[in-house]
Structure 1
Amino acid sequence: MNPLATHLLEVLPQTQCTRCGYPDCAGYAKAIEAGEAGINQCPPGGAEGVIRLSRLTGKPAGPVDPQFGVEGPRMLAVIDEAWCIGCTLCLDACPTDAIVGINKRMHTVIEPHCTGCELCIPVCPVDCISLETVTPGKSGWQAWSQTLADHARQRYEARQQRLGKRAPAEEAAPPAAPADRKRAIIEAALARARAGKSSPESGKL
């Protein structure tokens, strides 16, 4: 990463939410440096984030482009433990390893590590994850801090390093394959449960 991209990365909030259209904050920083992305594509950074990027690039500041989302308060993912089936899909999706749990056991969110990226929400097959507002009335960098950003970046980079130690065969597999496989297993289990409830025999002793 060249010096400008490095400086751009340093002023991003490090939520790793992908809402900018890139796989992580580093990817977005490189795209800005290469002239492939605008400086107004980061909703978590909000208006102040655009100003920070403007100072580094010399490009005029403006509002966050609404096609990438809107600036808002910092959010926290919360798992309804009564509904969690332990599928581990949220563990795979979380960029900062903020969710802990094992297969077929209840999961929970470690609050200090959660960036509110929302990536765990769409992968949950039982919709047991919701978002709670942590900073009502504050948004963008007013709801975030450099300390939180530095912590999130450290967590993300540690996760990337850990994933990089996987066996070559696992690295070669398409990223979506494990999730698809788990989802298929879950859907089959739910289908069997529904079939059992609807069976005439299910009402007999």
Structure 2
Amino acid sequence: MPTTEEDALARLIDAALPQTQCTRCGYPDCAAYAQAVARGEAGINQCPPGGAEGIARLAAMTGRPIVPLDPARGTEGPLRLAVIDEAWCIGCTLCIKACPVDCIVGAPKVMHTVVAGQCTGCELCIPACPVDCIAMVEVSAGRTGWSAWSTAQAEQARDRYAFHHIRIEQAARDNDARLAAKAEAKLADLPRHTQHTDPATIERKRAVIEAALARARARQQSRG
């Protein structure tokens, strides 16, 4: 269990990260990486978007020596934003699902587009696209790391990432509620559809429906 000091340090470290949520550090998001650094489980040199300045920031916070960026995580580079080739987009929505900050808009079988002012350059949409219609375009004129990215942009990205998770969790809760309602309706309607069915078959069907209902309720409770 993390200590109060580790929690406080993790919050400071998270606030010093660029919030691209790119996962290149080896963790699912910036907050998870910050927690790992605070616990001493991760190096301070695993964030390519933060670059050399990011490492210096984390070194000052943790008291660790400044070290070069871990080459296994990538290299420090300019800010690049995703651009979708509209002529090739098939509207599969896979890039929308992959985007951690909900900056891609569109609908199934409809051309998608990237809201440039909200894109963090995480590149997670690139492998998700089945037709390779997404390209990364440099927009920082050669500036890299924190010189290419601002604190205001990082704060906006953090807020959008938090909203993304709220949206996903709400959608999952809504789906669980629909499944539970459907199972309850089937359970209530079971006698009418099994008037000429032997009791053993009825009980098996009832058990299957009740098990599905229990799973749906358990998922609802776990999501709070």
Give TM class, smaller chain. 0.7 to 0.9
Q: Which runs of 5+ in 1 are unaligned?
A: 172-205
Matched, 1:35 2:57: no
**Residue matched to 2:189:** none
Matched, 1:142 2:176: no
Matched, 1:156 2:154: no
| Aligned positions of 1:95-174 closer than 5 A | 95-168=100-173
Cα gap change, 1:147 to 1:61, in 2 (>3 Å): same
Please report how far the alpha carbon of residue 77 of structure 1 lies from its aligned counterpart in structure 2 after TM superposition.
Answer: 0.1
The CA RMSD over aligned residues, in Å, is 1.3
**Cα shift readout 1:57-111 (whole Å, capped 9, x = no counterpart):** 0000122100000000000100000000000000000011010000000000000
Which structure exhibits the higher relative contact order, with contacts defined as CA atoms closer than 8 Å and separated by 6 or more residues? 1
> Aligned partners of 1:101 and 1:68: how far apart in 2?
31
> Aligned partners of 2:56 and 2:150: how far apart in 1?
15
**Residue matched to 1:78:** 83
> Aligned partners of 1:24 and 1:135: how far apart in 2?
23
| Aligned positions of 1:31-70 closer than 5 A | 31-70=36-75
| Count of matched residue positions in the alignment of Structure 1 and Structure 2 | 171
Flag the structure with higher helix content: 2
> Aligned partners of 1:49 and 1:170: how far apart in 2?
40
**Cα shift readout 1:29-70 (whole Å, capped 9, x = no counterpart):** 001011110000000000000000011100001221000000
Q: Residue type matched to 1:92 in 2?
A: K
Please report how far the alpha carbon of residue 137 of structure 1 lies from its aligned counterpart in structure 2 after TM superposition.
Answer: 1.8
TM-score by length of 1: 0.81
Q: Residue type matched to 2:34 in 1?
A: A
> Aligned partners of 2:150 and 2:107: how far apart in 1?
31
**Residue matched to 2:95:** 90
> Aligned partners of 2:98 and 2:141: how far apart in 1?
26
Matched, 1:20 2:38: no
Matched, 1:6 2:7: no
Rg larger for? 2
> Aligned partners of 2:75 and 2:56: how far apart in 1?
16
> Aligned partners of 1:161 and 1:26: how far apart in 2?
16
Provide the secondary structure at the position in 2 that maps to 1:121: helix
> Aligned partners of 2:92 and 2:108: how far apart in 1?
6
Comparing 85-94 with 153-162, greater Cα deviation is found at 153-162
Q: Which runs of 5+ in 2 are unaligned?
A: 1-5, 177-224
